[in-house]
């Protein structure tokens, strides 16, 4: 994209700016030329425009600190680099704390307290900006695993509901069967009673039509 104005801005302004050159010596710098599907898949998580070059500042674990796809003023962009470095340091300091919270969530999963585990993972995910690449990936993995558990539980619940429906249907059938039996018994009693009354009336000379 050598003819792109932003590419020219990065190459000719930012990367030749003395303070930026000095700053970037403290970073591991890579240039990725996307010319294959593999390259596109590599950059897919960063949701980049295809018509612009991108300058990505990442932490040591691949977590995004800053995405730049517009031309920059080198002097002003130094503040962005400083902010990204501070954020990277913050993520490094907070990593153990978030991993400890994740372990607590895993304990709740082991106990079957999925709602409490999910609340912890959601709390971690809400601090997305402060998460290192590894922590963010692990939390996403854990939430995916919980989603699978939830789907399995829903299927199980549907099965139980179907079984309950069968049980309820069986109970209803038994109640109907018993009711018909009771009605049949009453019908026999009524028929016998009718015959008895008819016999008595005939003896009395009363004819029944």
Confirm if 173 and 137 have CB atoms less than 8 A apart: no
Proportion of the chain above pLDDT 70, given as a percent: 87
Domain containing residue 31: 5-151
Most confident stretch, 79-88, 135-144, 167-176: 79-88
* Domain membership flag for residue 141: yes
pLDDT tens digits, one per residue of 127-138? 888 888 888 888
* Domain membership flag for residue 164: no
Strands 55-58 and 64-68, sheet pairing = antiparallel
* Domain membership flag for residue 95: yes
pLDDT over 50 (residue 1): no
**Count of domains for the chain:** 1
* Domain membership flag for residue 28: yes
* Domain membership flag for residue 204: no
* Domain membership flag for residue 88: yes
Separation of alpha carbons 185 and 136, rounded Å: 72
Higher pLDDT, 3 or 19: 19
Higher pLDDT, 110 or 154: 110
Mean pLDDT for the stretch of residues 77-106: 92
pLDDT over 90 (residue 57): yes
Q: What is the mean pLDDT of the chain?
A: 82
Residue 159 has what pLDDT?
Answer: 72
pLDDT over 90 (residue 63): no
Residue 208 has what pLDDT?
Answer: 58
Higher pLDDT, 164 or 207: 164
SS3 string, 93-154, reads HHHHHHHHHHHHHHHHHHHCCHHHHHHHHHHHHHCHHHCCHHHHHHHHHHHHHHHHHHHHHH
pLDDT over 70 (residue 64): yes
pLDDT over 90 (residue 19): yes
Residue 60 has what pLDDT?
Answer: 86
pLDDT-derived band at 34 (thresholds 50, 70, 90) equals confident
Residue 43 has what pLDDT?
Answer: 77
Residue 157 has what pLDDT?
Answer: 67
Higher pLDDT, 27 or 169: 27
pTM of the entire structure? 0.59
* Domain membership flag for residue 196: no
* Domain membership flag for residue 180: no
């Amino acid at each position: 994209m050598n003819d792109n104005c932003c590419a020219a801005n990065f190459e000719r302004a930012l990367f030749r700016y003395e303070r930026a050159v000095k700053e970037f010596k403290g970073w591991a710098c890579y240039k990725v030329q996307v010319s294959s599907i593999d390259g596109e898949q590599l950059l897919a998580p960063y949701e980049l425009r295809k018509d612009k070059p991108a300058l990505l500042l990442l932490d040591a674990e691949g977590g995004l600190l800053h995405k730049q796809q517009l031309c920059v003023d080198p002097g002003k962009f130094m503040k962005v680099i400083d902010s990204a470095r501070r954020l990277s340091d913050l993520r490094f300091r907070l990593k153990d704390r978030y991993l400890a919270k994740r372990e607590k969530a895993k304990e709740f999963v082991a106990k079957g307290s999925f709602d409490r585990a999910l609340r912890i993972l959601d709390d971690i995910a809400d601090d997305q900006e402060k998460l290192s690449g590894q922590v963010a990936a692990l939390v996403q993995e854990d939430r995916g695993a919980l989603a699978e558990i939830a789907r399995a539980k829903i299927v199980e619940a549907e099965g139980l509901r179907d079984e309950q429906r069968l049980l309820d249907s069986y109970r209803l059938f038994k109640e109907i069967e018993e009711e018909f039996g009771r009605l049949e018994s009453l019908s026999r009693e009524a028929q016998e009673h009718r015959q008895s009354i008819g016999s008595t009336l005939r003896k009395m000379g009363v004819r029944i039509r």
